[in-house]
Amino acid sequence: MPKQQPPQPPRKNLALVEGSHRDPMAGAKDVGAINPKDEAEVTLRVRSRTNEAELQQHLQLAAAKPPSERTYLSRGEFTQSHGASPDDLAKIDQFAHDHHLTVVESSIPKRIVRLRGTLADLQTAFGVTLRRYRSKQVAYRGRTGPVYVPKELAGIVEGVFGLDDRPVAKPHYRRLGALKGMAKTKAIPVRPAKKTVPRIAPKAAKDRSFSVLEILKLYNFPAGLDGTGQTIALLELNTPADSSQPSQKAGAGYTNSDLNAFFSKLKLKTPAVSPVSVDGGANLPGLNPDADGEVTLDIEVAGAAAPGANIAVYFAPNTDKGFIDAITAAVHDEVRKPTVLSISWGGSEDSSTQQFLDGVNSAISDASLIGMTVCVASGDSGSSDLGSSDGSPHVDFPASSPYSLACGGTALTGKNSTIGSEVVWNEGRQGGAGGGGVSTKFSLPDYQKNASVPKSPTGNAGRGVPDVAGDADPQTGYQIVLAGKELVIGGTSAVAPLWAGLIALINQQLAKNGSGPAGLLNTMLYQLPAGSKALRDITEGSNDIDGDLGVYSAGAGWDACTGLGTPDGQALLQVLTAK
C-alpha cells in the first residue's frame, strides 16, 4: 500500500508546528487505516509567559554560585513567573471546543494542555493523517510530515505529542546471563562487530560483581547521611515485551517481595516507594520482564545509596507524550517534592523529532530553576549509540540535554574501600559500552567551554556527553534481586540512580545547613581544579564499541567516554556544601 501523505492545509488558516515533522520508523511499513472512532489523548506543550532570554538569565545566576548560596524558585514562584499564560490556555480551550475535543488537564505550571477525542477529530484538528505501521520490532499508530494548528495558536503551541504512539526510549542496562522466564533483549540489526565479547555466565560474573553497599564504599559515599527528608524521583516507561504485537499489554514494574528480599540481604529497611501514574501508566510487573529489570534496578540502587529517602516512581507509556508528561509530573509534584530525578531510559537524539528534543530539554531546564538535579544514563552502546550502520557516532538523549547530569560507564575492580582499577566500560557489541560523544542537536554549554570538547560529527561545537561516570560493566556489576532471584546487572542505568542517591545525601546535608538543594551541578563540577579528589579521572580505554569509529578515548581531564570521572562521595560532599 502506498504511503499516504498528510493533507496540506490552506496556509491562511493553519500554521505548521516547528520541529514536528515525522518519518516512519526504519523498516516500518504502512499496514492499514486506523479506526477513526477510536479515542486517543494528546498533550500540547505551551509557551512560557517568560521569554527564553529571561529563563536563561535565571538559570545562569543560580548555576554561577555554589549550592549553599543559590536561590531557587519555589514551585509556586515558578508558576507565577514561568508558567503558561491563562490567556494562551483559554485560546486552546476554544480550539478544543471547536474541534469536539475534551480538555483533560490544563496546567499553568506544567505548561501543558491534555486533550482527548476521536482519531477522526484529532486528525482534523491537527491536519494529519494517522495510519498503522509495523516492522519486525514494533507496531504503532503513526503519522508522516508535520503537525498543524490554527494560525491563532502559532507560537503558543510549541509541541503536539501523542498522535504518534511509537516507543521513543529503551532501558539502558545490561544483565549477565538470562533470568529464567525473562525475555531476552532483542538484537538491534547492525553491521557485524569487528570484535565481540561473549556473554559471561552468572557464576563467572559474580566473582567480580559487587553488592551496592560495596560500590558505595569504593566510591567513598559519605557516612552519617541516609537521604532522610529527600525524595528521589524515578522515570519508568510501560512497554510491551514484544512491541511488534499490538495486542500485548504494556508493562514495567517492581514487586514488594523483590525489594524486601534485596534490602533485607543488605540489612537495610525497605525504603518508602510510591508508584505515581502518569497518562495511565502504572506499576505493572510481569508483563515485560526486561522493563521490570530496569525499574527494580533503579529502585534498589537508589534505595541502597540513600535508604532514608522516599522514592517516587513515575510510570508512563513509552511514547513521546508519556516521556514528557512523566518529567513534568515529577518536576511540578507539589505533594512529594523530589529534589533529584533519575532517568535510565533514552534513545539516539538523531531519531527524535525536534519538538520532542525541545520539549524534554525545556522540562529539564524547568527542573533546574526549582533546584532539582536530573541524572540521565548516557547509553550502553558506546559512541555509536544506535548501533547504526551509517558509520558515524551518535549520542543518547536526554543525556545530551545541557541541563542533565549525563552519567557514563566504567569497569571497576576493588575491595573494601580501595579501587584496584577503573577504565572505560567497553565489552564489545554483546557486552556493551558506555555511551558518550558530542551532540549534533545541542550547542556547547558555557560550563564546557574549557573542557576541550571535540567538534560534533557535523562539525559544530556541541554539548559533550557524559559529565560523570560510575561502574556500569555487567562483569563488575550490581547484585540485585529480580523476580525472586539474585542476579547481576550493569549498564549506565545503574549509574544514574547511583548518582541520584549520592545527590540525595548531599541535599540532606545542604538542608541541615539551611541551604537549598544542589540543583544543576554541572557548572561547579567543570570548575573543579585539576587534581581535585571529588572526581576520579578515568584515563584508560575507549567507548568505540565496534572498534571501527575510532573517535573517542579516555585521557586526562574531560573526555567523551567517562566525562570528568567517577565520584569520591565524601570529597564531593565537602566541595558542594562548602560556604
Q: Residue 111 pLDDT > 60, yes or no? A: yes
Question: What is the sign, positive or negative, of the torsion defined by CA atoms of 5, 169, 326, 70?
Answer: negative
CA 401 to chain centre: 10
| E strand map for 425-499 | 437-443, 462-465, 468-471, 478-482, 485-490
- In sequence order, what are the beta bridge partners of 438? 464
69 CB burial (10 A radius; 0-12, 13-18, 19+): exposed
Bond into 246 cis (ω within 30): no
Q: Which helix (H) or strand (E) holds 265?
A: helix 256-265
State how far the Cα of 156 lies from the Cα of 158, in Å rounded to an integer: 6
Q: Are residues 425 and 383 in the same domain?
A: yes
Q: Are residues 135 and 178 in the same domain?
A: no
Q: Residue 5 pLDDT > 50, yes or no? A: no
CA-CA-CA-CA dihedral for 378, 381, 384, 385, to nearest 10: -50
264-284 burial string, b = 16+ CB within 10 Å, else e? eeeebebbebebbebbebebb
| Predicted local confidence at residue 68, as pLDDT | 82
* Angle formed at CA 133 by CA 131 and CA 139, multiple of 5 degrees: 125
Going across the sheet that includes 174-175, the strands are: 174-175, 485-490, 478-482
Q: Are residues 140 and 204 in the same domain?
A: no
The grid cell for 48 is 512560557
| Predicted local confidence at residue 548, as pLDDT | 80
Q: Are residues 299 and 363 in the same domain?
A: yes
pLDDT in tens, 501-523: 999 999 999 999 999 999 999 99
Helix residue ranges per DSSP H, 332-427 = 354-369
The grid cell for 368 is 533546574
pLDDT in tens, 429-471: 888 999 999 999 999 999 999 999 999 999 999 999 999 999 9
With respect to residue 79, please indicate whether it lies within any of the assigned structural domains.
Answer: no
CB of 443 closer than 8 Å to CB of 460:
yes
| Predicted local confidence at residue 553, as pLDDT | 96
| Predicted local confidence at residue 43, as pLDDT | 98
Q: Residue 322 pLDDT > 90, yes or no? A: yes
Average pLDDT over every residue of 363-386? 93
332 or 178: which leads in pLDDT: 332
With respect to residue 455, please indicate whether it lies within any of the assigned structural domains.
Answer: yes
Predicted confidence band of residue 305 (pLDDT cuts 50, 70, 90): very high
The grid cell for 380 is 550502553
Predicted confidence band of residue 184 (pLDDT cuts 50, 70, 90): very low
State how far the Cα of 436 lies from the Cα of 393, in Å rounded to an integer: 9
Q: Are residues 393 and 313 in the same domain?
A: yes
The grid cell for 436 is 558518550
Helix residue ranges per DSSP H, 99-147 = 119-126
Q: In the predicted model, what is the mean pLDDT of the chain?
A: 90
Q: Residue 473 pLDDT > 90, yes or no? A: yes
Q: Are residues 218 and 309 in the same domain?
A: yes
| Predicted local confidence at residue 154, as pLDDT | 96
State how far the Cα of 21 lies from the Cα of 143, in Å rounded to an integer: 9
Helix residue ranges per DSSP H, 309-457 = 320-331, 354-369, 428-431
CB of 576 closer than 8 Å to CB of 532:
no
Domain limits for position 107: 14-47+84-161
Question: What is the sign, positive or negative, of the torsion defined by CA atoms of 81, 83, 84, 85?
Answer: negative
Predicted confidence band of residue 57 (pLDDT cuts 50, 70, 90): confident
With respect to residue 558, please indicate whether it lies within any of the assigned structural domains.
Answer: yes
The most distant pair of C-alpha atoms in the chain lies apart, rounded to whole Å, by 70
71-81 burial string, b = 16+ CB within 10 Å, else e? ebbebeebbee
With respect to residue 145, please indicate whether it lies within any of the assigned structural domains.
Answer: yes
Predicted confidence band of residue 194 (pLDDT cuts 50, 70, 90): very low
The grid cell for 169 is 526510549
Q: Residue 188 pLDDT > 80, yes or no? A: no
The grid cell for 527 is 570548575
Q: Residue 207 pLDDT > 70, yes or no? A: no
| Predicted local confidence at residue 472, as pLDDT | 97
Q: Are residues 152 and 206 in the same domain?
A: no
Q: Report the domain count for the chain.
A: 2
pLDDT in tens, 534-543: 999 999 999 9
CB of 116 closer than 8 Å to CB of 101:
yes
Q: Residue 20 pLDDT > 70, yes or no? A: yes
44-62 burial string, b = 16+ CB within 10 Å, else e? bbbbbbeeeeebeebbeeb
Q: Are residues 336 and 472 in the same domain?
A: yes
CA-CA-CA-CA dihedral for 279, 282, 285, 290, to nearest 10: 30
CB atoms within 10 A of CB 578: 10
Residue 8, Ramachandran bin (φ over 0: left; ψ between -120 and 50: alpha; else beta): beta
Percent of the chain at pLDDT exceeding 70? 91
With respect to residue 33, please indicate whether it lies within any of the assigned structural domains.
Answer: yes
Of 23-27, 265-269, 569-573, give the lowest mean pLDDT range. 23-27
Percent of the chain at pLDDT exceeding 90? 80
CB of 162 closer than 8 Å to CB of 117:
no
Cα–Cα nearest to 293, from 179, 385, 204: 179
Q: Are residues 499 and 351 in the same domain?
A: yes
Question: What is the sign, positive or negative, of the torsion defined by CA atoms of 122, 123, 124, 126?
Answer: positive
Residue 327, Ramachandran bin (φ over 0: left; ψ between -120 and 50: alpha; else beta): alpha
- Report which residue type is found at 306: A
Q: Are residues 424 and 497 in the same domain?
A: yes
Place of cell 505551551: 46
Q: Are residues 370 and 433 in the same domain?
A: yes
| Predicted local confidence at residue 204, as pLDDT | 40
With respect to residue 362, please indicate whether it lies within any of the assigned structural domains.
Answer: yes
Active site amino acids: 294, 298, 493
| Predicted local confidence at residue 12, as pLDDT | 65
pLDDT in tens, 209-255: 999 999 999 999 999 999 999 999 999 999 999 999 988 999 999 99
Of 63-67, 151-155, 280-284, give the lowest mean pLDDT range. 63-67
Q: Are residues 365 and 506 in the same domain?
A: yes
* Angle formed at CA 435 by CA 415 and CA 572, multiple of 5 degrees: 50
With respect to residue 75, please indicate whether it lies within any of the assigned structural domains.
Answer: no
With respect to residue 571, please indicate whether it lies within any of the assigned structural domains.
Answer: yes
SS3 for 333?
coil
Q: How many CA atoms lie within 13 A of 299 on its CB side?
A: 33
Average pLDDT over every residue of 391-398? 92
Helix residue ranges per DSSP H, 370-474 = 428-431
CATH code where residue 410 lies = 3.40.50.200
545 or 406: which leads in pLDDT: 406
